[in-house]
């Protein structure tokens, strides 16, 4: 198979691996010195491990340092992990945390430049050029997705339509009238658009649409086939997380043989999630990332909780950067609903706040007409049972409101009778995800 291949930054993306390793080592040393000087959380980690930045002789030595987890970010909320003073920070983004508080990340001007470059790389790899009109249907806001793709598109010289999320009919009108050629959204929203086109009798092949860059939630190969066939496009995957940078951490080229990881900016390890041991090349395990060039929010051995595998063979496209397989799942119980990270513990906390007791609950996630829906079933107990319907309804409405605020995604609350939620060895089963059934 021969495809027309464009490479945004050939020097970086096709760097011989030995040179890449030298670059990584140099930048890793700099990053370790930076955090050892500026970030108390890392100072404590160096102390705990007895390992100092000066002890680093090879990339493998990194394994002497402890991991950084979402919990560290929670404890240091909001700015405790920043390595530069706020006057150097030009942007704040955030994502949902494991409990009530979100995760806050910051960028310096230089960080934004790096981010822009890395997004331009994977967008170019996916076939986007300055001729394209990029339709960005990610929500603009604290979420990193929209801004990342926005910067990358502008860097390439493409025309950006920052339409943001929602209002599907308007999306279609603009897509048709403005001749959008590249679509950026979650894969599930891509299917929603396809459904709506079908309903309206709009032929996707009559549109200018030719590529789709889908991210922010995991999706299967079957979904790729469906998106490509129904929208008449080439569909590529990309990966990122706000703690590391946002989109741009990794992205597919047109060969679709895994997502090229920006290894010159992020050092990747694959670990055994149970023991924390670094696994040999080619193993399936949890992805751990260390930022090598970030200024405002450096991350050392951040546990992404995503399960994947890395392939270090040079790709047919010529890039030497390792390719990351589509994520196979999570090592924690995080769910991604409509592109939003949701942790069952957040729901527990909301329910606890409302009634001061810990009710039994279960999350049912379904996908109807390609839209995710979340239902929270709560077992009624005497603390949350009211003899008056008005109060009982009010409890449900209040819980739904609070959940929407905390989770950033709407949830339907359904009260069920005691003992109806199935328990496994005494423990309630918290999540039923029916989306891939």
**Interface positions with another protein (CB under 8 A):** 380-382, 385-390, 392-393, 414-420
Q: Of the two residues 200 and 381, which places its CB atom closer to another protein in the complex?
A: 381
Q: Which is nearer to another protein, 159 or 392 (CB)?
A: 392
The Cα 404–Cα 394 span in angstroms is 15
Nearer to another protein, 7 or 416 (CB): 416
Q: Please name which of 406, 399, 332, 402 lies closest in space to residue 102, comparing C-alpha atoms.
A: 406
Distance, in Å, from the CA atom of 42 to the CA atom of 244, rounded to the nearest integer, reads 16
Region label for 68, one of left (φ > 0), alpha (ψ between -120 and 50) or beta (otherwise)? beta
CB 12 within 8 A of CB 43: no
What's the closest the beta carbon of residue 373 comes to another protein, in angstroms?
15
Helix pair 344-355, 389-407: axis angle to 10 deg = 140
Closer to another protein by CB, 333 or 379: give it: 379
* Neighbour tally for 205: CB within 10 Å: 9
Give the whole-angstrom CA distance, residue 292 versus residue 275.
25
Q: How far is the CB of 381 from another protein (least distance, A)?
A: 6
CB of 396 to another protein, least distance (A): 8
CB of 347 to another protein, least distance (A): 18
- Residues facing residue 270 across a β-bridge: 287
Q: Which is nearer to another protein, 18 or 388 (CB)?
A: 388
Identify the helix (H) or strand (E) that includes residue 412: strand 412-416
Query: Coil, helix or strand for 63?
Result: helix
CB of 379 to another protein, least distance (A): 8
Nearer to another protein, 417 or 425 (CB): 417
**430: alpha, beta or left? (left if phi > 0; alpha if psi -120 to 50):** alpha
Residue at token pair 């990309």: 238
CB of 142 to another protein, least distance (A): 33
């Amino acid at each position: 198979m021969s495809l027309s291949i464009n490479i945004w930054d050939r020097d970086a993306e096709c760097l011989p691996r030995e040179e890449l390793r030298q670059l990584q080592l140099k930048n890793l040393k700099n990053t370790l010195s930076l955090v050892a000087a500026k970030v108390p959380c890392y100072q404590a980690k160096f102390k705990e491990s007895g390992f100092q930045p000066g002890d680093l002789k090879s990339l493998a030595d990194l394994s002497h340092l402890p991991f950084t987890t979402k919990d560290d970010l929670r404890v240091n909320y909001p700015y405790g992990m920043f390595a530069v003073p706020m006057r150097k920070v030009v942007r704040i983004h955030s994502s949902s945390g494991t409990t009530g508080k979100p995760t806050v990340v910051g960028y310096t001007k230089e960080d934004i430049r790096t981010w822009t470059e890395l997004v331009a790389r994977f967008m170019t790899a996916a076939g986007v050029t300055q001729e394209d009109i990029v339709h960005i249907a990610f929500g603009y806001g604290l979420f990193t997705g929209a801004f990342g793709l926005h910067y990358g598109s502008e860097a390439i010289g493409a025309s950006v339509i920052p339409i943001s999320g929602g209002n599907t009919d308007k999306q279609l009108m603009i897509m048709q009238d403005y001749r959008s050629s590249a679509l950026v959204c979650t894969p599930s929203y891509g299917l929603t658009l396809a459904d709506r086109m079908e309903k309206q009798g709009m032929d996707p092949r009559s549109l200018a649409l030719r590529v789709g860059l889908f991210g922010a939630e995991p999706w299967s190969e079957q979904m790729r086939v469906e998106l490509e066939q129904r929208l008449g496009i080439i569909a590529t995957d990309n990966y990122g997380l706000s703690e590391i940078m946002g989109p741009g951490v990794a992205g597919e080229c047109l060969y679709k043989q895994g997502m090229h990881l920006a290894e010159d900016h992020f050092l990747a390890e694959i670990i055994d999630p149970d023991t924390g041991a670094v696994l040999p090349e080619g193993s399936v395990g949890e992805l751990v990332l260390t930022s090598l060039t970030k200024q405002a929010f450096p991350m050392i051995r951040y546990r992404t909780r995503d399960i994947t595998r890395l392939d270090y063979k040079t790709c047919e496209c010529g890039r030497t950067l390792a390719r990351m397989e589509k994520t196979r799942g999570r090592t924690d119980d995080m769910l991604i609903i409509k592109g939003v990270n949701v942790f069952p513990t957040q729901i527990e906390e909301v329910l606890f706040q409302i009634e001061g007791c810990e009710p039994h609950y279960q999350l049912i996630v379904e996908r109807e007409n390609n839209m995710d829906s979340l239902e929270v079933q709560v077992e009624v107990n005497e603390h949350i049972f009211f003899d008056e319907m008005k109060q009982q309804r009010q409890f449900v409405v209040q819980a739904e409101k609070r959940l929407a605020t905390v989770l950033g995604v709407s949830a339907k609350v359904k009260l069920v009778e005691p003992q109806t939620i199935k328990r496994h060895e005494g423990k309630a089963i918290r999540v039923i995800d029916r989306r891939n059934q």
